Amino acid sequence: MKLRRAGADDRDRLLAWRNRPEIVALGSSQRTVRPDEHDAWYARVSQDPRTRLYIVESDAGDPIGQVRFDPHGSGEAIVSIYLIAGHTGRGEGTRALSEATQRAASELGARRVWAVIRDTNVASQTSFARAGYARCSAQEPQPADLACADHLVYRWEAP
């Protein structure tokens, strides 16, 4: 497994992945994205120096998912990750998340990374925990804009 920065030729692939039913079901909005929405988003993300969008590739070099870090205040980011069907449940997501977090910390200076995970997505919760993220309790300080009734917040802190 390896990570590479997303390029222009990944735009359509990312839209197709994003609109797969299994990805929509686990997403925060739980809706498909229109091509014009995606094109505007991709142009913005591709040009934002504070955002990192990585493509996860299998050992054979096939694209199998994405990891994205969006800015969230000074020295903080929000992470989003998914792998396509056939590449989940084997530790690839945990390895990608762990490596991508280290790269984002180095490249962006992120000292803290937040993740918002559906409370029903046990596989993702497990993967984040294995990658060094800690689940935040209701008593811990966390960004108010991340709170959602059916989601859990996880946090990674730079050593």
Cα–Cα distances in angstroms (integers) from residue 73 to residues 50, 127, 145, in the given order:
10, 25, 12
- The more confidently predicted of residues 88 and 18 is 18
Mean pLDDT of the chain: 92
pLDDT at 79: 97
Residues 23-82: tens digit of each pLDDT:
998 877 789 999 999 999 999 999 999 999 999 999 999 999 999 999 998 999 999 999
Range of the structural domain that residue 6 is part of: 2-157
User: Two tokens at 58?
Assistant: 């299998």
User: Which secondary-structure segment (H or E) carries 129?
Assistant: helix 122-130
CATH number, domain of 25, equals 3.40.630.30
* pTM summary value: 0.92
For the chain, how big is the Rg over CA atoms in Å? Answer: 15
pLDDT at 133: 97
d(CA 124, CA 109): 25
User: Two tokens at 134?
Assistant: 């800690």
User: Two tokens at 34?
Assistant: 């229109």
